[in-house]
Chains A and B, each alone.
Chain A
Amino acid sequence: MSVEPATLKSLVKAAAEQVIASAPELTALDQAIGDGDHGANMKRGFEAVLGKLDTIGAQPVDEALKTIGKTLVMTVGGASGPLYGTFFMAAGDALSQQRRLPEDIAEVFACAVGAVSTRGRSQAGEKTMLDVLYPVLETLKAEAGHPEVIARVRATASEAVKRTVPMQATKGRAAFLGARSVGHADPGARSSCVLLHAVCNALEARP
């Protein structure tokens, strides 16, 4: 595995801190079209991840991803727990099966996104986190290995969040609002974007 423990630890720390910092924004988005707990739930989950940072940093990447996933499952307390938890656990499983980073990143990401889709019984276009994850997967498939891939993933994620604004939710709590869910960005799409941006920024900041 070509990801050094120190790199992994700094990536996880950056991502967790960024999610925690964005909790008020996620809460505001979720108050508009959901039950308003997404920020607090993600904050609780990623604080628990930060609490295990030393363990995670000492593990091989596949095991570290599984630890992150299990921690989120057990601590988030909303649907986003199993959904993000499944993402990380499936990515870890994919890495346990002969795949390597960074060269297999698109394949590993595809396994993780597919598992989220199965868990949520949801597809793209339903105003969920998948509306960020699928476009980013396409960018990774097309651009992995390209020197600009990090910048393109970041841009794809930001644009994808904006594209959830006119969508009508058919999954999750926002589906109860029907047409009234139109006009707001999806909180899960936004939290996925926050995570992806944090990882991109941390990768770029590597010495």
Chain B
Amino acid sequence: MNDTVGIVIVSHSKDIAKGTADMVRQMVGSEVKVAFCGGNPDGGLGTNVSLIIDAINNAWSPKGVAILVDLGGAETNSEMAVEMLEPDRRNLVVVCNAPIVEGAVMAATEAAGGSSLDEVRAVAEELSAS
């Protein structure tokens, strides 16, 4: 298998994160590594930096990882998680400014074609063009 950009889905709700990942897998099967997480450190609604770091490492690809998030805290915590990665990985992870479900499906479909991290991000972020 050629390397493809990995996809990480970070929602406040583990159910939404899992459901989004299910939709992504339906589109791209196992061609793209997909990881997801949701919930605060007590398991309630929220996000958790250490789970995000684990998800990034689980979806890791030499071509990089694109993260899709839902609301504010998911974005802030994802950015924090990226900064806490090993230094050689930090520049290969992006948090996409895109709707979580549509963005994840579009990004994964683009990634499956072997596109670069920048291309994957751009396709996801087209959805947010205003």
* Cβ < 8 Å to A, chain B residues 34-74: 39-42, 44-50, 71-73
* Cβ < 8 Å to B, chain A residues 27-53: 35, 37, 40-41, 44
Instruction: Give Cα A74 to B83, complex, Å.
Output: 13
> Closest A-chain residue to B53, C-beta based?
A74
Instruction: Give Cα A188 to B39, complex, Å.
Output: 21
| Chain A residues whose CB sits within 8 angstroms of the CB of B49 once the complex forms | 73-74, 81-82
Instruction: Give Cα A79 to B76, complex, Å.
Output: 6
- Whether the Cβ atoms of B72 and A173 lie closer than 8 Å is yes
> Closest B-chain residue to A77, C-beta based?
B40
> Closest A-chain residue to B12, C-beta based?
A35
> Closest A-chain residue to B42, C-beta based?
A44
Instruction: Give Cα A73 to B73, complex, Å.
Output: 11
Q: How many of chain A's residues touch chain B, expressed as a range? A: 20 to 34
Q: Any chain B CB within 8 A of the CB of A75?
A: yes
Which one, B45, B48, B50, B75, contacts A37 given CB within 8 A?
B45
Contacts A41-B40, A44-B41, A173-B71 given: A77-B47 contact, CB under 8 Å? yes
- Whether the Cβ atoms of B72 and A81 lie closer than 8 Å is no
Greatest chain A CB density within 10 A among B41, B71, B76, B80 is at B76
CB distance from B89 to the nearest CB of A (A): 18
* Cβ < 8 Å to B, chain A residues 60-91: 73-83, 85-86
CB distance from A30 to the nearest CB of B (A): 12
Q: Any chain B CB within 8 A of the CB of A172?
A: yes
Contacts A41-B40, A44-B41 given: A81-B71 contact, CB under 8 Å? no
Contacts A37-B46, A85-B80 given: A79-B41 contact, CB under 8 Å? no
- Whether the Cβ atoms of B41 and A74 lie closer than 8 Å is yes
Contacts A73-B49, A173-B71 given: A82-B76 contact, CB under 8 Å? yes
- Whether the Cβ atoms of A41 and B46 lie closer than 8 Å is yes
Which one, A41, A44, A75, A119, contacts B76 given CB within 8 A?
A119
Q: Any chain A CB within 8 A of the CB of B3?
A: no
- Whether the Cβ atoms of B44 and A81 lie closer than 8 Å is no
- Whether the Cβ atoms of B72 and A74 lie closer than 8 Å is no
Q: Any chain A CB within 8 A of the CB of B20?
A: no
Q: Any chain A CB within 8 A of the CB of B77?
A: yes
**Besides A41-B40, A77-B41, A172-B72, 12 new A-B residue pairs in contact (Cβ under 8 A), listed by A number:** A35-B45, A37-B40, A44-B42, A73-B49, A73-B80, A74-B41, A77-B40, A79-B72, A79-B73, A81-B76, A82-B76, A119-B80
Interface residues of A (CB under 8 A from B): 35, 37, 40-41, 44, 73-83, 85-86, 119-120, 171-173
Interface residues of B (CB under 8 A from A): 39-42, 44-50, 71-73, 75-77, 79-80, 84
A-B contact pairs, 12 of them (CB 8 A): A37-B40, A44-B42, A73-B84, A77-B48, A77-B77, A78-B47, A79-B72, A79-B77, A119-B79, A120-B76, A171-B72, A173-B72
